[in-house]
Amino acid sequence: MHKIALNFEDGVTRFIDATADETVADAAYRQGINIPLDCRDGACGTCKCFAEAGRYDLGQEYIEDALSEEEAAQGYVLTCQMRAESDCVVRIPASSQVCKTEQSSYQASISAVRQLSDSTIALSIKGDALSRLAFLPGQYVNLGVPGSEQTRAYSFSSLQKDGEVSFLIRNVPGGLMSSFLTGLAKAGDSMTLAGPLGSFYLREIRRPLLLLAGGTGLAPFTAMLEKIAEEGSEHPLHLIYGVTNDFDLVELDRLQALAARIPNFSYSACVANPESQHPLKGYVTQHIEPRHLNDGDVDVYLCGPPPMVEAVSHYIREQGITPANFYYEKFAAAAA
Ligand SMILES: Cc1cc2nc3c(=O)[nH]c(=O)nc-3n(C[C@H](O)[C@H](O)[C@H](O)COP(=O)(O)OP(=O)(O)OC[C@H]3O[C@@H](n4cnc5c(N)ncnc54)[C@H](O)[C@@H]3O)c2cc1C
Ligand code: FES
């Protein structure tokens, strides 16, 4: 049995199980998800999707009009023909609603809430329901703010282990979730999670990676690095983690532990405030070296507050280098 992540156009992800002898479209249908289909015979191309990761058999019966050789080489698949040979990630060019599914919702309780510094909170949530929660490292969920109707988006900062997941949250003074977490929240409080969501997730590692984090934008990377620590990587990975003030710099011991587990992973952390006591000062962009960009043969992942993401994207464009792949996530404020 293989796990298939179906990523819909609206950012919703659903995981299904697929056996080696059923097609991905049949497996999805069996689990209540209708991938758009027409002929089911490899002739019309209606079920064409993009396989982002995994090994699979394309099938023998389809015709060139439905899927050309070139498309197949790029990673396109006909889900009415495709059979998984490993866990896979498949991008569906339709919304979750069109496919008659929606994001899942989970109820769990706070297992730990800890202020790591004035600006940063670590939150862990645990519950039996969460042992069924699957997500791709880098994705996020919407967390309900207890005592209100509102939700806030947070990237998982860990993998799910024994029904527990963690988050790294910026303490925005006066913010709704921030005020709850720094004031009222305590272990045992109930919380609702809806997701997983988002297209910012770790793809198959085919070349060196450059990971760029701003503030709590570190969260998706610690989740990705946990996954890489489990599976290994033959390519070099470098993380540059930038913050504004010394007290924003958190989780350095965790990064060090991850570096000890991942042989070709290196990282540096820098602080923008010129008054900083930290040895490395300045912005993330000041610490990107030509070898990190590897003449464009690099996959760049970038995450942080919107102005940081824009500044770094602009900087990379200015270098005249187009990375093989460039993925980013902006931690936009819900209230903005
Ligand atoms: C896809 C996605 C993933 C996210 N993941 C994370 C994450 O892993 N960790 C994390 O810390 N945040 C993350 N965010 C941001 C998060 O969802 C909230 O916006 C943030 O935590 C503020 O929530 P709040 O309820 O405390 O403040 P709100 O009540 O939403 O805001 C209060 C006031 O502060 C302003 N404000 C909100 N955020 C900021 C900010 N960052 N800087 C300055 N002013 C701000 C608002 O405009 C508003 O005026 C993510 C956002 C998105 C869209
Ligand atoms: S549904 Fe027609 S090719 Fe798959």
Amino acid making up residue 138: G
Provide the pairing of β-strand 151-155 with 299-304. Answer: unpaired
pLDDT in tens, 308-335: 999 999 999 898 889 999 999 999 988 5
Q: How far is the CA of 301 from the centre of ligand 2 (A)?
A: 34
* Residue 65: Cβ-neighbour burial (10 angstroms; 0-12, 13-18, 19+): exposed
Distance (Å, rounded) from C-alpha 104 to C-alpha 195? 6
Model confidence, pTM: 0.89
**Ligand 1 centroid, distance to 46 Cα (angstroms):** 39
DSSP H helix total and E strand total for the chain: 7, 18
Question: Can you tell me whether residue 75 is helix, strand or coil?
Answer: coil
| Distance in Å, CA 325 to ligand 2 centroid | 29
| Whole-number pLDDT of residue 334 | 81
pLDDT in tens, 259-279: 999 999 999 999 999 999 999
Vertex 119 angle, CA 115 and 120, to 5°: 45
Q: Which residues pair with 89 in a beta bridge?
A: 5, 53
List the single range of 153-157, 216-220, 329-333 with lowest mean pLDDT.
329-333
Query: What distance, in Å, lies between the first and last C-alpha atoms of the chain?
Result: 43
pLDDT confidence tier of residue 33, bands split at 50, 70 and 90: very high
Per-residue pLDDT, averaged over 152-170, amounts to 97
Check whether 202 has a pLDDT greater than 80.
Answer: yes
What is the predicted pLDDT for the residue at 198? 87
Q: What is the mean pLDDT of residues 99-111?
A: 91
CA of 22 to the centre of ligand 2 (A): 15
Whole-number average pLDDT of the chain: 94
Q: Is the pLDDT of residue 108 over 70?
A: yes
Place of tokens 């504004």: 244
* pLDDT for residue 25: 97
Q: What is the 3-state secondary structure (H, E, C) of 77-128?
A: EECCCCEECCCEEEECCCCCCCCCCCCEEEEEEEEEEEEEECCEEEEEEECH
pLDDT of residue 103: 81
Task: For residues 66 and 68, give the distance between their C-alpha atoms in angstroms, rounded to a whole number.
Answer: 7
How many CB atoms within 10 Å of residue 136?
24
Bridge-partner residues for 2, per DSSP? 18
Q: What is the distance between the alpha carbons of residues 20 and 236, in angstroms, rounded to a whole number? A: 33
**35 CB less than 6 Å from ligand 2?**
no
The number of beta carbons lying within 10 Å of the beta carbon of residue 13 is: 23
What is the spatial distance between Cα 321 and Cα 295, in angstroms, rounded to a whole number?
7
- The C-alpha atoms of residue 140 and residue 156 are separated, in whole angstroms, by 6
DSSP type of residue 203: P
Which amino acid, residue 220? P
Q: Kindly state the percentage of the chain with pLDDT values over 70.
A: 99
Question: What atom of ligand 1 comes closest to residue 154's alpha carbon?
Answer: 5
With b for 16 or more beta-carbon neighbours within 10 A and e for fewer, the 265-283 pattern comes to bebebbbbeeebeeeeeeb
Closest by Cα among 76, 329, 77, 86 to 224: 329
Residue 77: predicted pLDDT: 97
How many residues does this entry show for the chain?
336
Which whole number is the average pLDDT over 286-294? 94
219-246 tens-digit pLDDT = 999 999 999 999 999 999 999 999 999 9
CA 331–ligand 1 middle distance (angstroms): 6
Residue among 24, 38, 49, 92 whose CB has most ligand 2 atoms within 8 A, to mutate: 38
Average pLDDT over residues 102-115: 93
336 pLDDT more than 70: no
pLDDT at 93 over 60: yes
> CB neighbours of 317 closer than 8 A, spacing ≥ 6?
none
The predicted pLDDT at position 335 comes to 57
pLDDT of residue 211: 98
Ligand nearest to the CA of 58: 2
Does position 159 have pLDDT exceeding 80, yes or no?
yes
